[in-house]
Amino acid sequence: MGIFVSGNDRVFTLQTKDSTYQMKADTHDVLLHTYYGKRIDPEDLEELIFKADVGFSGNPPEANGDRTYSLDCLPQELPSSGVGDYRDDMLRLTHADGSTAADFRFQGWEISPLSRPVPGMPALYDTPEESGETLIITMREKVSGITVRLYYGVFEEENIITRSIQVENSGKTPVVLEKALSCSLDYLFGDYEMIHFSGRHAMERSLYRVPVGPACVSVGSIRGTSSHQQNPGVILCRPETTEDFGDCYGFCLVYSGNFQFSAQKDQRGQTRVQMGIHPDWFRFTLEPGEVFDTPQVILSYSPNGLTTLSQQYHDILREHMCRGVYKHAPRPVLINNWEATYFNFNREKILNIARQASQLGIEMLVLDDGWFGKRDDDNSGLGDWFVNEKKMGGTLKQLGEDLHAMGMKFGLWFEPEMISEDSDLYRAHPDWAIQIPGREPNRGRNQLVLDMSRKEIRDYLLERISDILGKAPIDYVKWDVNRSICDLYSHTLSPKQSGEIFHRHILGVYDLLERILERFPDLLLEGCSGGGGRFDAAMLYYSPQIWCSDNTDAINRLSIQYGTSFFYPISAMGAHISAVPNHQTGRSTSFKTRGNVALSGSFGYELDLNRVSDEEKEMVKEQIATFKHFYDLTHEGDYYRLTGMRDQEFVAWEFVAKDKSHAMLTMVKTDSQGNPLPVHLPVKGLDENRKYVCSYNGSIHSGRVWNQCGLTLPIVPTEYDSLVVEWSESDA
């Protein structure tokens, strides 16, 4: 049991294996936040809150002259808005009379023994082995009577607490939500830093670490997708926190649209942290009786540094977010024709790649962009989801059967959420695109975005995609989205609903994905958005793997996969071996190193096998065998970042089996210097009381020795050289 209620039903303590989260409804029914951190006993901690008469921090009427009681200073679970808390609010309303005050007070609570699915959106789900409990706290707005339900999910073993809210207009007049975040959390004491993962197309998720002070630090996206530029996974930690030491807190929003994370120290040294749907371009009207649900945010705390925090996210996302046949079943090793042919292919070229691939042990051919409509470049055809049989030299059914006859699975690229102006679909339904009448739209990759909030558009896409998947033996779909959204307008929503388009759009995307998976439950989906522009926890609900980046350069991939690993499981990262010089960077690395980097991901190839030497073809066979050999480690094991990305000449990662029977380490030399320093590889996570033999030098030591002493290489590898080392349990 992870939820304790005490103190006359007013103290709520959430307990996980290693963490405690507590709140308390005070004498004025304000829901105070008292504690989040290392696991302690569920005792009332209100005394931690220091009250003082603070100048210019006013007092609510019920304080009855007590100048030390101010909403502006109290740590709160659902901060009030417009009634004297001048820090960032969580829920901002405009009432029918134009006033904006919102003062939320505790009304009651209940506990559900199950996790709560968030309507219309992905959320952590229960399994037969483990279900999360949910604490539901009801808050009521003092005057309008608007009800807010705060949902706290607890997954004890995984050290996970979830938060989401539901706003119900239980008043008599319409109310406009101007801002509705998923969580707000006040840390009472201490200094913190924020770690965020920011970047750009083909260079996603570099790690940045900044102090949190009185100037608000914030990241977010208003692009309509979670974006390449920012990621909805952010960490708050102590300045001294490292991979292996110190307090850290993860905030992972289960949402693929606009989001915001912010952290700021208030005048009293308390830190307010918030996350949810980005308030910009958001305005949602609730008529009496209507409800609004926010996405779920997954919180996790580690007292032992960032590696443990990441492992907690990997475990929960693998087990309670990813679904379907491929949640645990081995994913096929694929070859994608994009970097091999781009749009310039025909049936023979594709079959030729497939024939060679099948001989080398590759298990699936993914036919990328260009097989449908009129689509020989990226200027036309999106929306016309009809097979171009002329270009394909026949039907997809024939192609799929030919592939299956070779023992290969068949995967296909789609970009359902988009429309080209040069398409039959656009000519028939120009109003299906998001654009403002009378205003020339901005194009991205020369394409427009379909208004996914409209059911008839989703129905069209469902019918088209189902027709193609139903007629050909297709095992996998790469689901792409290749531009950001602007020129916001919907032909079916009223002007007062214009602030609802972004959210309704992403709900529409989820609805379509869900309906496709209902029809084709065995399908493996790989999410994609120009590589990793929509790499978030919500997409993992539909696609257990996501194309990590359009950048396939092995050295750049180290930083991209490193940044991605802080929240997302290694199994979720699509990682391919491509040709050199690399198409994105012009850099050449060895076939071996490209393979060793792709090993830490969902592994595949993306090159023309006709241009690969015989020696490299032999290496393909070995690489696939290696990937399969280590599959249980990379896809189900515990992951350790042994180095950062800066200040050393190599990057190393390690995987340890859950049963600690073996481990694997990859190292890539990223830089070379004269008079080189030795490469000393730390080793972590082995069972201290078992013995392990190291594949590199045959040495046998106890886990205690390996964990303490690591491995020093007797040579210094040259730049871009790499290494894979295995530790296996030894009887010796």
CA–CA gap between residue 174 and residue 434 (Å, rounded): 27
277-296 mask for ligand GLA (x: CB under 6 A)? --------------------
How far apart are CB 302 and ligand GLA at their closest, in Å? 33
Q: Which is nearer to ligand GLA, 115 or 551 (CB)?
A: 551
Please give the residues from 643 up to 672 whose contact with ligand GLA meets the rule CB under 6 A.
Answer: none
Assign 456 to helix, strand or coil. helix
How far apart are CB 731 and ligand GLA at their closest, in Å? 47
How far apart are CB 224 and ligand GLA at their closest, in Å? 16
How far apart are CB 445 and ligand GLA at their closest, in Å? 8
Q: Which is nearer to ligand GLA, 220 or 530 (CB)?
A: 530
Place of tokens 């939820």: 3
Asked whether 653 and 665 are in contact (CB, 8 A), the reply is: yes
Q: Which is nearer to ligand GLA, 221 or 300 (CB)?
A: 221
CA–CA gap between residue 12 and residue 35 (Å, rounded): 11
Residue 526, interface with ligand GLA (CB under 6 A)? no
CA–CA gap between residue 685 and residue 537 (Å, rounded): 26
In order, the DSSP letters of 538-552 are HHHTT-SEEE--S--
Sign of the torsion angle spanned by Cα atoms 583, 610, 589, 196 = positive
Instruction: Pick from 106, 109, 313, 338 the residue near ligand GLA by CB under 6 A.
Output: 338
Asked whether 454 and 492 are in contact (CB, 8 A), the reply is: yes
Look up residue 219 and give its two tokens: 């990241």
Place of tokens 């990226």: 378
Q: Which is nearer to ligand GLA, 368 or 536 (CB)?
A: 368
Residue 447 to residues 444, 498, 510: CA-CA distances in angstroms?
5, 22, 21
- CB nearest ligand GLA: which residue? 369
CA–CA gap between residue 339 and residue 549 (Å, rounded): 13
CA–CA gap between residue 664 and residue 645 (Å, rounded): 19
Assign 524 to helix, strand or coil. strand
- Give φ, ψ of 606 to 5 degrees: -150, 70
Residue 227, interface with ligand GLA (CB under 6 A)? no
Q: Which is nearer to ligand GLA, 294 or 578 (CB)?
A: 578
Contact stretch for ligand GLA (CB under 6 A) within 310-318, 523-531, 628-636, 667-675: 523-531
Nearest partner of 3 among 141, 153, 150, judged by Cα: 153
- Give φ, ψ of 61 to 5 degrees: -55, -35
From the list 186, 204, 606, 616, the catalytic residue is 616
Residue 547, interface with ligand GLA (CB under 6 A)? yes
574-613 mask for ligand GLA (x: CB under 6 A)? ----------------------------------------
Asked whether 282 and 258 are in contact (CB, 8 A), the reply is: yes
Contact stretch for ligand GLA (CB under 6 A) within 130-138, 426-434, 450-458, 524-532: 524-532
Q: Which is nearer to ligand GLA, 367 or 725 (CB)?
A: 367
How far apart are CB 454 and ligand GLA at their closest, in Å? 24
Contact stretch for ligand GLA (CB under 6 A) within 135-143, 303-311, 355-363, 527-535: 527-535
Buried b (16+ CB within 10 A) or exposed e, 497-525: eebbbbbbbbbbbbbbbebbbeebeebbb
Contact stretch for ligand GLA (CB under 6 A) within 5-13, 62-70, 166-174, 525-533: 525-533
428-467 mask for ligand GLA (x: CB under 6 A)? ----------------------------------------
Q: Which amino acid is at 330?
A: P
Asked whether 592 and 323 are in contact (CB, 8 A), the reply is: no
Q: Which is nearer to ligand GLA, 22 or 578 (CB)?
A: 578
Residue 368, interface with ligand GLA (CB under 6 A)? yes
In order, the DSSP letters of 557-568 are HHHHHHHHTTTS
Residue 384, interface with ligand GLA (CB under 6 A)? no
Task: Note if 536 is an active site residue.
Answer: yes
How far apart are CB 87 and ligand GLA at their closest, in Å? 40
From the list 103, 178, 315, 536, the catalytic residue is 536
CA–CA gap between residue 551 and residue 345 (Å, rounded): 22
Please give the residues from 134 up to 193 whose contact with ligand GLA meets the rule CB under 6 A.
Answer: none
Per rule CB under 6 A, count of chain residues that contact ligand GLA:
12
How far apart are CB 578 and ligand GLA at their closest, in Å? 11
* C-alpha dihedral (367, 372, 375, 378), degrees to nearest 10: -60
* C-alpha dihedral (340, 341, 342, 347), degrees to nearest 10: -130
Q: Which is nearer to ligand GLA, 153 or 411 (CB)?
A: 411
Instruction: Pick from 75, 220, 295, 531 the residue near ligand GLA by CB under 6 A.
Output: 531
549-578 mask for ligand GLA (x: CB under 6 A)? -x----------------------------
How far apart are CB 343 and ligand GLA at their closest, in Å? 8
Residue 528, interface with ligand GLA (CB under 6 A)? yes
In 532-689 the beta strands, taken as DSSP E runs, fall at: 545-547, 573-578, 602-606, 638-641, 650-656, 662-669, 680-681
How far apart are CB 531 and ligand GLA at their closest, in Å? 5
Name the pairing type of β-strands 147-155 and 133-141: antiparallel
405-424 mask for ligand GLA (x: CB under 6 A)? --------x-----------
Residue 530, interface with ligand GLA (CB under 6 A)? yes
CA–CA gap between residue 281 and residue 274 (Å, rounded): 18
Sign of the torsion angle spanned by Cα atoms 76, 82, 85, 86 = positive
How far apart are CB 36 and ligand GLA at their closest, in Å? 38
Name the pairing type of β-strands 297-302 and 160-168: antiparallel
Please give the residues from 21 up to 60 whose contact with ligand GLA meets the rule CB under 6 A.
Answer: none
Q: Where are the alpha helices (DSSP H) in 406-500?
A: 424-428, 455-471
Q: Which residues pair with 650 in a beta bridge?
A: 669
Region for residue 417 given its phi and psi (left: phi exceeds 0; alpha: psi -120 to 50; beta: otherwise): alpha
Nearest partner of 205 among 554, 559, 538, judged by Cα: 559
How far apart are CB 239 and ligand GLA at their closest, in Å? 37
How far apart are CB 379 and ligand GLA at their closest, in Å? 11
CA–CA gap between residue 702 and residue 210 (Å, rounded): 39
- Give φ, ψ of 259 to 5 degrees: -145, 165
Instruction: Pick from 369, 422, 526, 536 the residue near ligand GLA by CB under 6 A.
Output: 369
CA–CA gap between residue 529 and residue 297 (Å, rounded): 22
How far apart are CB 370 and ligand GLA at their closest, in Å? 8
- Give φ, ψ of 501 to 5 degrees: -60, -50
Q: Which is nearer to ligand GLA, 378 or 514 (CB)?
A: 378
Look up residue 703 and give its two tokens: 């886990």
User: Contact positions toward ligand GLA, by CB under 6 A?
Assistant: 338, 368-369, 378, 413, 480, 482, 528, 530-531, 547, 550
Catalytic positions are 536, 616
